Amino acid sequence: MPATLQVVAVAPAYPGRLQGDERWLIYLDGPVDPGATSRVVSLILTEHITHAVVYLNSPGGSLVTAMQLGRVLRERAFDTRVGTRTTDATRATAGTCHSACPFLLAGGVRRSLETGSAVGLHRAENREPVGDVDTFQHVVRTQVIEYLAEMGVRTEIASLMEDIPHDRIRDLTVDEALQLNLVNERP
Of 183, 146, 156, the C-alpha closest to 56 is: 183
Angle among Cα 175, 62, 143 to the nearest 5 degrees reads 70
- Give the residue ranges of DSSP H helices in 11-95: 36-47, 63-75
* Model confidence, pTM: 0.91
**Would you say 46 and 18 are in contact if contact means Cβ atoms under 8 Å apart?**
no
Please give the mean pLDDT across all residues of the chain.
91
Instruction: Give CA–CA dist 49/33, Å, rounded.
Output: 22
| Homologous superfamily in CATH for domain 6-179 | 2-enoyl-CoA Hydratase; Chain A, domain 1 (3.90.226.10)
Q: Which of 55, 142, 160 is nearest to 104 (CA)?
A: 55
pLDDT in tens, 88-106: 888 899 999 999 999 999 9
Residues contacting residue 72 through CB under 8 Å, at least 6 positions apart: 37, 40, 41, 44, 107
Q: What is the pLDDT of residues 59-91, one digit of tens each?
A: 999 999 999 999 999 999 999 999 999 998 888
Residue spans of the domains in the chain: they are 6-179
